[in-house]
A and B are shown apart, each in its own frame.
Chain A
Amino acid sequence: MFDPSSQPVLELRGVSKRFGAVQALTNVDLDVHASEVVALVGDNGAGKSTLVKTISGVNQADEGEIVWQGDAVSIKGPHDAQKLGIATVYQDLALADNLDVVGNLFLGNEIRSAGILDEIAMEGRSRELLLTLSIRIPSVRIPVASLSGGQRQTVAIARSLIGEPRVVLLDEPTAALGVEQTAQVLDLVERLRDRGLGVILISHNMEDVMAVADTVAVLRLGRNNGVFERRRTNQEEIISAITGATDNAVTRRAARHAEGQQ
């Protein structure tokens, strides 16, 4: 369980992003601690993907700052994010089907000795990694094409851990998975947390979110619309924050009232 009073690994402060005429993100804040699963939820177009791309370096924020372990950093590209220790698993897993599991895990980060691929070291580390994550796949030497959807997802997540990251971003990891595969992936998310990683989980599935998240951050129309502690909230509260059901005449009147008093 994470310690909310500790220093967050990753903090976003007032991040804004504009695409032409569209204000995709306005003043968004987000904290991720070590050993914390933050579920990022919101309706289509709420800005989840834009926020993830900002963190993973695909897009750069127009305003606001990103604080990494207490220091303000600028993430100019995916490479910067990886170097900091932010790993991203995208929705389309981008695995090379013709390579085996070991080949995919280490693609781009191959272990070599004297310029030659050290297959044995890579195979050993793959087994170790898969074992500690309790990922069960038939063999590390079969092409990824012959794995099921859930297994491919777990391989993609394991792949993101090769660089020893501190924060892992998972973009809809359970979309398009069956019941059992979803359970496998959620187990894996818990194990990532147990290893002390901060996890940002983007999901449309409320049950998944309630099953594994410690904190639920809601985005609505590019703004923060509440951060909930999972233990002290319920699905209805979150859904009403997502859909904006809390934003009605009564609440607006109350907000005006509060402003007036100040």
Chain B
Amino acid sequence: MSQNPNTGGAGGGSGEDRRREGEEAPLSGPAGAGDYAGEDRAAPAGGGTVSGKVEELLAAGVAPSEITNRVAKETGESKQVVGDIVETMIPAAGSAADPRLMAREHGLSGYWNEFMRRVKGGELGSLPMIVALAVIWIVFYTLNSTFLSAQNLSNLSQQIVGTGMIALGVVFVLLLGEIDLSVGSVSGLAAAVFAVESVNNGVNEYVALILALVTGIGTGFIQGFFFARIGVPAFVVTLAGFLFWNGLMLNILGATGTVNLPPTSIVSRLYNTIYGQQIAAYGAAAIGVVLYAAVAVYGRARRMRAKVPAPPIGEIAARVILLAIAAFVVAYVFNQYKGLPLAPLIFLIFIVVGDFILRRTVYGRRIFAVGGSIEAARRAGISVPFIRLTVFSICGLMAAVGGLFLAGQIESASQTSGGGNLLVNAIAAAVIGGTSLFGGRGKTWSALLGALVIGSIQSGMNIQGLSNSIQYMVTGAVLLAAVVIDSVARRTQKASGRV
């Protein structure tokens, strides 16, 4: 509807019509120009003078309805005709809005309709897994009410941190559409480096901690180098890394194979610390809510000043209230047991910082661009190898962080560190949380959601006294379900024109 009839595209009019439109140059705007071209043929000069007057008044800032009335009176044209002309000449208010676009209606029903449209269009995001988490919790609660006790939930919040941190790094790699199979081994290696350096070699704890983190970055950097610069597929590079770093860990641990960490070591304290004062949990919740509200209100004010569409204040209020309810419920549950645990708080901070990097920095924007279209990124002057190298380094760093938390959890580094199904769980957590395996779509929050789902299954199964065999099968089924949802959503999105 928006093409200019002058160029004679799909205008569809007869030759005569087109000539008329050509003469009425000021009217050659969007939709409907052809409709009244025929009508005012009886009064040849009509169109020109009407549009001229309308233009004048519009420039003077007169309201459209007022213009219609005045011009109709002055020229003797019918109001209908003038009204049409006015409509086509009003500059698309504030935007290049398209009449075909479905706009959100006002009020609550508008939000509901848009939500339903998104669901139908396959833009499910994290919704299926939030529902799944609720189902998992209800099922385990009905089997044994201790599952939803404050103690178990508080413990759960600590247990998911190790896997969740690793999953956070995996989210970055998945955003590129790649995979890192070495994260489990790297986490074990970092734990071993810390334990051996701080306990056996007597290195300062903090130095050992930094050494462990640098080890993580280094492994990611080496793998990233082979992938980005040499061009070896990430799958193979990280599969090699999976073996190599595991071997290196065994080598570092030496003959004894297990290094116990004292309960006073920094890693143990990071995992075990719980702030007992009531005010700690509620204060943290309040700070989070206030920060969120401040950022939202400030952003809205800036948008209003810049005259770009801003979310209505009601929407912001609703979001803040929902967040406040969630935050204070969590704080209440923590306070029912021992208080605010430090580990999940650190995990949350990492997620928020990661989210900020991905959505608000140039670097994050470029990660998404590389994940969406390598060719587009390259043409835009983005160094694709640099992005790949750094993303794999970030993943290595997060694997090391996760490994340290896991070491703090069991207060030791052993030959089994980073083994078992840790790798699978970390990747599953990222995917279950809603980060696409196909690249270009995902959030750091999916690490939290995925880790919660997997952690809940493990915790519930343990309470039921079920063996690992069933645990593995259920986790596998949930992972498959998540990937199926991702694939189906992707297909639906393609059909409805979303990526």
Contacts and interface: CB of A to CB of B under 8 A. Distances in A.
B9 A99 contact: no
B30 A108 contact: no
B4 A124 contact: no
A95 B7 contact: no
Interface string A165-193: 00000000000000110111011001000
A179 B9 contact: yes
A96 B372 contact: yes
Nearest to A106: B365
Contact of A107 (B98, B360, B380, B497): B380
B362 A117 contact: yes
Given A120-B306, A136-B98, A94 B375 contact: yes
Given A120-B302, A127-B94, A143-B499, 4 more contacts: A104-B376, A136-B97, A183-B3, A183-B7
A99 B100 contact: no
B368 A96 contact: yes
A137 B95 CA distance: 10
B92 interface: yes
B498 to A, nearest CB: 5
30 contacts: A79-B381, A90-B379, A92-B375, A94-B373, A94-B379, A95-B376, A96-B372, A97-B440, A99-B365, A99-B372, A107-B376, A107-B382, A108-B381, A109-B380, A110-B362, A115-B362, A120-B302, A123-B306, A131-B95, A134-B2, A135-B96, A136-B2, A136-B30, A137-B96, A138-B97, A138-B98, A145-B498, A180-B10, A184-B9, A211-B7
Given A124-B308, A127-B308, A180-B10, A108 B497 contact: no
A98 B499 contact: yes
Interface in B360-414: 360-362, 365, 368-369, 371-373, 375-377, 379-382
Contacts of A79: 381
Contact of A96 (B3, B377, B381): B377
A116 interface: yes
B101 A124 contact: no
A184 B369 contact: no
A112 B8 CA distance: 42
Report the 6 A-B pairs with minimum CB-CB distance, sorted nearest first: A183-B9, A108-B380, A96-B372, A138-B101, A98-B372, A98-B440
B441 A124 contact: no
B229 interface: no
A103 interface: yes
B96 A136 contact: yes
A139 interface: yes
Size class of the B contact interface (CB-based, 8 Å)? 35 or more
A123 B380 CA distance: 18
B106 interface: no
A131 B499 contact: no
A73 interface: no
Contacts of A115: 361-362
B303 interface: yes
A96 B375 CA distance: 8
A211 B3 CA distance: 14
Contacts of B9: 179-180, 182-184, 186
Given A107-B380, A115-B361, A98 B497 contact: no
Contacts of B498: 143, 145-146
Contact of A138 (B7, B100, B299, B441): B100
Interface string B484-499: 0000000000001111
Given A96-B372, A107-B377, A137-B98, A184 B306 contact: no
A139 B382 CA distance: 25
B382 A108 contact: yes
A84 interface: no
A108 B362 CA distance: 9
Contact of B371 (A98, A130, A212): A98
A115 to B, nearest CB: 7
Contacts of A96: 368-369, 372-373, 376-377, 440
Nearest to B493: A145
Contacts of B2: 134, 136, 184
A121 interface: yes
Interface string A217-258: 000000000000000000000000000000000000000000
Nearest to A95: B376
Interface in B269-321: 299, 302-303, 306-308
Contacts of B94: 127
Contacts of B496: 146
Contact of A94 (B8, B92, B95, B376): B376
A138 B375 CA distance: 25
A184 B440 contact: no
Contacts of B95: 127, 131, 139-140
A156 to B, nearest CB: 10
A116 B361 contact: yes
Interface string B313-347: 00000000000000000000000000000000000
Contacts of A130: 96
A102 B437 CA distance: 25
A32 B154 CA distance: 71
Nearest to A151: B98
Contacts of A138: 97-98, 100-101
Interface in B424-454: 440-441
Nearest to B364: A117
A223 B96 CA distance: 43
Contacts of B499: 97-98, 143, 145
A163 B10 CA distance: 32
Given A92-B375, A121-B306, A130-B96, A98 B441 contact: yes
A119 B309 CA distance: 12
B365 A117 contact: yes
Contacts of B98: 136-139
